[in-house]
Amino acid sequence: MRARRSVERALNPAHSPAKRPLDGITVVSLEHAIAAPFCTRHLADLGARVIKVERPGAGDFARAYDSRVKGLSSHFVWVNRSKESLTLDLKQPAALAVLDELVAKADVLVQNLAPGAAARMGLGWQALHAKYPRLVVCDISGYGNDGPYRDKKAYDLLIQSEAGFLSVTGTPQEPAKAGNAIADIAAGMYAYSSVLAALLQRQKSGEGSHIDVSMLESLGEWMGFPMYYAYEGAAPPPRSGAAHATIYPYGPFPAGDGKTVMLGVQNDREWQAFCEQVLIAPGLASDTRFATGARRNEHREALKRLIVEAFESLTAEQVMKRLDDAQIANAQVNTVGDVWAHPQLQARERFREVPTPHGPVGAMLPPGVNSSFDYRMDAIPAVGEHTVAILRELGLSDDAIAALQATCAI
């Protein structure tokens, strides 16, 4: 498979890395943690040059979250490949002057500093648009650039709580947060798509745009189903662990070998096939307790007992074979470690290696196999790795760079 794809790329010059959609676009990012870095890494995947501005010395505080990836932070490795690291102490006028020169040549500025911090440094939309009318400015924050919550601190878990996510996630006894940074991810993805839209808009208007993305609104959009389910004071979806809140049977069920099978019966036709071919109990399909989706959901505890009883003499593999034969959706309950070796991802060659300061590590290609270009999969930078090269590119002399170093401005 790999050889065939290599031949295809050799025969098709469209696969050249020089033909990515964002080649020639420069992004400057005042970023830390997850939301903004997640946005800009996706821009880098499409070929953009992303210059990540970090604090001298420590850099992005997400670098210190843990040391699980060859001594590097798992969060940082995930969202910072293919970037250049420039260290600037933005509290010093000399460093701000460097940043201004950089922004003057950029297409996009992304920032997720504390509310109001960018504006206080002269990096607000109004000031920047007056000087650089083609610049796209994207602000990412917890609650947005105005409103009564503007200045509240916003971390991923706090936004999960404010957006109602915790109210529908977990068990009846206790709410649970998502196992990943879902609010940060949502905001990063909407910032990413908004920047792409703004670049397209600039092609038509000739002017840049201001984008104001909030974590609350991003995760709020993803809460659309439960919000409408509870429309006008109706009861919200109950917390139901790993099972679907309103469709049953749809969730995890134990097999006789101690393993768990995830399955989903979506409609009455599948319910009949499930009874006949999986449970080997065709008469159950017409049981009045389970005759419709609403009835199955209403009597889920009784139905769960029947399913567990039917599965207790079978291995998980045997259960999944029956489900596949009946064309009932099912899945293994994998660990995150299993995903690295997932046979589907391996067959589709979805992993590459990228360099880091501590050696190469695996990295998953972005979703969306594209026939016209290859994604950029370059190194994860050390703190300030590209500072001197970028300053020289801006025309600073070695003496000027040394003076910045002497005052710890870089």
**What does the pLDDT read at residue 5?**
47
Q: List the structure tokens of 404.
A: 């910045």
Those residues whose C-beta lies under 8 Å from the C-beta of residue 82, and which sit 6 or more positions away, are 41, 44, 45, 50, 354, 376, 377, 378, 379
Residues 42-72: tens digit of each pLDDT: 999 999 999 999 999 999 999 999 999 999 9
Q: Token pair of 42, please?
A: 């996706």
Tell me, what's the pLDDT at 6? 41
In the predicted structure, residue 294 carries a pLDDT above the cut 90: yes
Beta strand spans in 206-307 (E): 210-214, 250-254, 260-264
**Banded model confidence at residue 10, pLDDT cuts 50, 70, 90:** very low
How confident is the model at residue 2, as a pLDDT? 46
**Nearest to 226, CA basis, from 241, 210, 239:** 239
State how far the alpha carbon of 311 is from the alpha carbons of 267, 303, 315, 334, in Å.
21, 12, 8, 19
Average confidence (pLDDT) over 111-136: 95
Superfamily name and number for 250-333:
formyl-coa transferase, domain 3 (3.30.1540.10)
pLDDT at 18: 53
Domain 2-222+349-406 has CATH 3.40.50.10540: yes
**84 pairs with which residues across the strands?**
51
Can you tell me the distance from the alpha carbon of 374 to that of 12, in angstroms, rounded to the nearest whole number?
Answer: 12
Residue range 343-364, pLDDT digits in tens = 999 999 999 999 999 999 999 9
Q: What is the mean pLDDT of the chain?
A: 94
Residue 225 clears pLDDT 90, i.e. is over it = yes
Q: What is the mean pLDDT of residues 292-313?
A: 96
User: Looking at the predicted structure, is the pLDDT value of residue 257 above 70?
Assistant: yes
pLDDT at 369 over 70: yes
Tokens (6 digits) for 274? 């499930």
What span, in angstroms and rounded, lies between the C-alpha atoms of 109 and 87? 16
Mean pLDDT of 1-20: 48
3-state secondary structure of 87: strand
Question: For the purposes of burial, counting CB atoms within 10 Å of the CB of 372, is it exposed (0-12), middle (13-18) or buried (19 or more)?
Answer: exposed
Place of tokens 């070929």: 47
Helices H / strands E in the chain, number of each: 18, 11
Mean pLDDT of 182-194: 98
Q: Give the start-to-end residue ranges of the domains of the chain.
A: 2-222+349-406, 250-333
